Structure 1
Amino acid sequence: MTKLKLYKSGWKGIRLLALTLPFVLIGILIISKEQAGTFDYAMGWFCVSFFGLGIPLGLFLLLDRRPQIVIDEDGVWDRSLKQDAIKWEQIVETYAIDIHGQKFISVVVDESFEPKRKTVKWARKLNEFVGAQTTNLNVSQIKIDANKLSDLLNKIKNSDKHERASHLRIFSSEQRLTPNFEFQNYVTYLIILAIFMLISLSGEMGFMSIMVIMGVSAVIARWHGGTNNKSSLYKYARITTFLGFANMVVLFLMFTIHDAVSDKLGAELTQKIEKYKSKFGKYPTSIQPIREKMHLNLIQDHIFDEIAYRNLGARYELTLEFLNRNQKEFDVESNRWN
């Protein structure tokens, strides 16, 4: 028997991991940096605990290879319905529907179809309000055109049994021959995100410009859904809002890592300088000889290049320009750049 099996897209899991992992890493950095019992320490654990819940879910979506929807000559089956296959003879018609960006195919069934789970009254009212049926195929996590799939279901429903296999084979071959531009889209998004980050790091004006763009896009995406949320303006406003938010998350992660590494490097460097003074009776004229004795990783090595050292005789001064273009001096007492 010819079967068309539709699987969840792995990109859903990748997107979820991309959204949650930065916050988990930020939480871990905060926990390792702050003292137990402080507010920041508690917030670090909150980030790890809350956003960490998305990691197993993201991995599940990424690794789950079970078919979500199976269509054959006898009917259609959706795993999410917790229901036996719906026979073609029980289907009156199907139509695609978009509910706040989530794609479904509503199935109008006749009286012979008996769902295993009874729909509560408020759920039926909600379905009626959004234009859905009591039986809806969830295709949000499947990389497929909901309208084309709905057309296929209607075509098979109106065909004789010996013609159904042919429709399934043709549709399956068309799906394989259709170019997949999803990977190219993600590459484009990464390039745009990199541009957003460069603009944000260029200075306060650049950062505020990106914030304004994200805010305007969010308003457009919220209030200008277009016809069935399919307008180009809505689509690109939504993408821009997401990229702007991703830009904020990545920048925050970069700043947090940079601050943590800088503080640790500054503390280690001051110890080496004081040790040098104890040995030679004066502060070094340059910190390059000290650098050669320190085992620095790539990030530390880059930050070390940005540190300006001044020997003032009785004391010394370490200054560093941070990612936000602010100049800070290392405070030995607090072991931080202030």
Structure 2
Amino acid sequence: MTELKLYKSNSKGLKILALCLPFVLIGFWMISEKQNGTFDYYMGWFITSFFGLGIPISIFTLFDNRPQIIINENGIWDRTTKQTEIKWEQIKESYLIDIYNQKFISIVVDETFVFKKNTFSKLNKLNKYIGAQELNLNLSQIKIDENKLTDFINTIRISEKSIRNNQIQNFNSSLTLNPVSNSQKYFTYLLILICMLVASLSNFYAFWVIMITMRIGGLIAKWYRGTDNNSNLRKYAERLAYLGFTNMVLIVLIFKTYDYATNKIGIKLTNKIETYKTEFGNYPNEIKTISENLNFNPIEKYIVSKIVYKKTEKEYILELKFLNHNLKEFDTELNEWN
């Protein structure tokens, strides 16, 4: 017997992971950098704990290999409905609905279908209010054309049992003819994200253009449905909003990491410069020799190469242009760049 098995898309797990992981890292950074007892310290624990809950959920979603929907010549079964298999002869009608941007196929069954448990009357009233049924196939995590699947269900339910296997095979073949694989899509998204990051770091105005575009994309994804409730404009606007949000979070992480690294470099350099003065009675004329003796890693060496050292008669100045293109001096009292 031919079976068509539909699985959850791992994109849902990746979205959850991409949303939670940056905030968890920010929380860890706040915990490690802020003093115990301060508001920022406790906020770091709150952020880490709250968004950390999403990581096991995303991992479970990514590695959940159980089929959600199984279609065969006898009927259709959806694991999320908690019901038995629905026979094709029991289906009177099926139609596609959209509930808060989540796609469902509502199944109208006859009186021969016996529910495993009685649903709450309030839930039934809510289903009727939004146009749903007691049986609704959740397609929000399945990568498939919802309209084609709905048409297929309506076609096969009235077909003879002898031809259903062929219909399932043909429909399954049409699903595998997708010219663009998931890996190709993710690679494309990664390239777009890298370009957005480079543009954001290179130009302040480019960053705000991306932010505004992300906001517009988010509004379109939330409110625009199109004539057939399956608009390509809305689909791409949603992806643009996700990419823009990811770009924003990564920019924040990069800035925080850069601030931490530059402060660490500044402290090491000033300590070495002060040691040099103690030994030789004056400040060094340049810091290249000093920095070479500090065993910086390649990234730190690159940052050090961008530091401008200025020596006066009684003091010295360390200047560095930051990622936001602001020129800052290292404050030896506060041990940070201002």
Q: TM bucket by the smaller chain? A: over 0.9
Partner of residue 159, structure 1: 159
Which amino acid letter does the alignment assign opposite residue 33 of structure 1?
E
Match of 1:118?
118
Q: Distance in 2 between matches of 1:19 and 1:299?
A: 27
Q: Hey, what's the Cα distance between the residues in 2 that align with 1:177 and 1:208? A: 39
Match of 1:253 in 2: 253
CA distance in 2, matches of 1:264, 1:229: 53
The aligned counterpart of 2:65 is 65
Whether contact under 8 Å (1:97, 1:106) holds in the other structure is: yes
Deviation sequence 1:74-115 (CA, Å, 0-9, x none): 221111111211122211122222223222111111111122
Residues 118 and 302 from structure 1, CA distance in 2 versus in 1: closer, same or farther, beyond 3 angstroms? farther
1:87 corresponds to which residue? Answer: 87
| Aligned twin of 2:148 | 148
Deviation at 1:156, TM superposition (A): 2.0
Shift of the 133–74 alpha-carbon distance from structure 1 to 2, 3 Å rule, reads same
Deviation at 1:256, TM superposition (A): 0.8
Alignment of 1:5-84 (within 5 A): 5-84=5-84
User: Which structure 1 residue ranges, 5 or more long, are not aligned?
Assistant: none
CA distance in 2, matches of 1:110, 1:186: 43
Counting only pairs closer than 5 Å after superposition, residues 121-140 of structure 1 correspond to structure 2 as 121-140=121-140
The answer to whether the Cα contact below 8 Å between 2:283 and 2:316 also exists between their aligned partners in 1 is yes
Partner of 1:226: 226
2:244 maps to 1:236: no
Alpha-carbon distance in structure 2 between the residues aligned to 1:297 and 1:112: 72
Q: Deviations over 1:191-221 (max 9, x none)?
A: 3333333333344433333333233333333
Counterpart residue number, 2:314:
314
* Residue 301 of structure 1: aligned partner: 301
Alpha-carbon deviation of 1:310?
1.2
Q: Tell whether 2:272 aligns with 1:272.
A: yes
Q: Tell me by how many angstroms 1:56 deviates.
A: 0.6
Q: Which amino acid aligns with 1:38?
A: T
Return the offset for 1:237.
Answer: 2.9
- The root-mean-square deviation of aligned C-alpha atoms, in Å, is 1.9
> What residue is the counterpart of 1:335 in the other structure?
335
Q: In the TM superposition, what is the alpha-carbon distance from 1:129 to its structure 2 partner?
A: 2.9
Q: Is the Cα contact below 8 Å between 1:75 and 1:86 reproduced in 2?
A: yes
Alpha-carbon distance between aligned partners in 2 of 1:221 and 1:258, rounded to the nearest angstrom: 33
**How far off is 1:67 after superposition?**
1.0
- Say if 1:98 and 1:228, in contact at 8 Å, map to a contact too: no
1:250-272 Cα offsets, whole Å, 9 max, x none, are: 11111111111111111122112
Summarize deviations over 1:228-267 as a string: whole Å, max 9, x none: 5422333333233222222211111111111111111111
> Equivalent residue of 2:30, what SS?
helix
Which region of structure 1 is more displaced relative to structure 2, 210-219 or 324-333?
210-219
Map 1:166-177 to 2 at 5 A. 166-177=166-177
Letter in 1 for 2:12: K
State how far apart, in whole Å, the 2-side matches of 1:47 and 1:226 are.
37
Instruction: Report the secondary structure of 2:176's partner residue.
Output: helix
* Residue in structure 1 matched with residue 216 of structure 2 by the alignment: 216
CA change 1:71–1:326 in 2 (3 A) is same
| Partners of 2:274 and 2:178 in 1: CA distance | 67
1:325 alignment counterpart:
325
| Residue equivalent to 2:100 | 100
Residue 177 of structure 1: SS of its match in structure 2? Answer: coil
Give CA deviations for 1:5-57 in whole Å, capped at 9, x if unaligned: 11111222122211211111111112111111112112211221111111111
Query: SS at the partner of 2:117?
Result: coil
**1:278 Cα deviation after fit:** 2.0
Equivalent position SS for 1:9? coil
Distance 2:245 2:212 in 1: 12
Name the SS for the 1:275 alignment partner: helix
Structure 2 vs 1, CA of residues 139 and 217 (structure 1 numbering), >3 Å: closer, same or farther? Answer: closer
* TM-score, normalised with respect to structure 1: 0.93
Deviates more, 1:32-41 or 1:116-125: 116-125
Q: What is the number of residues matched between the two proteins? A: 338
Partners in 2 of 1:121 and 1:207 — Cα distance?
Answer: 51
What TM-score does the superposition give when structure 2 sets the normalisation length? 0.93
Residues 1:305 and 1:33: Cα distance change in structure 2 (over 3 Å)? same
SS at match of 1:317: strand
Can you give the 5+ residue segments of structure 2 that lack an aligned partner in the other structure?
none
Q: Deviations over 1:130-184 (max 9, x none)?
A: 3221101112111111222222222221122222212112222222233235443
Residue 263 of structure 1 aligns with which residue?
263
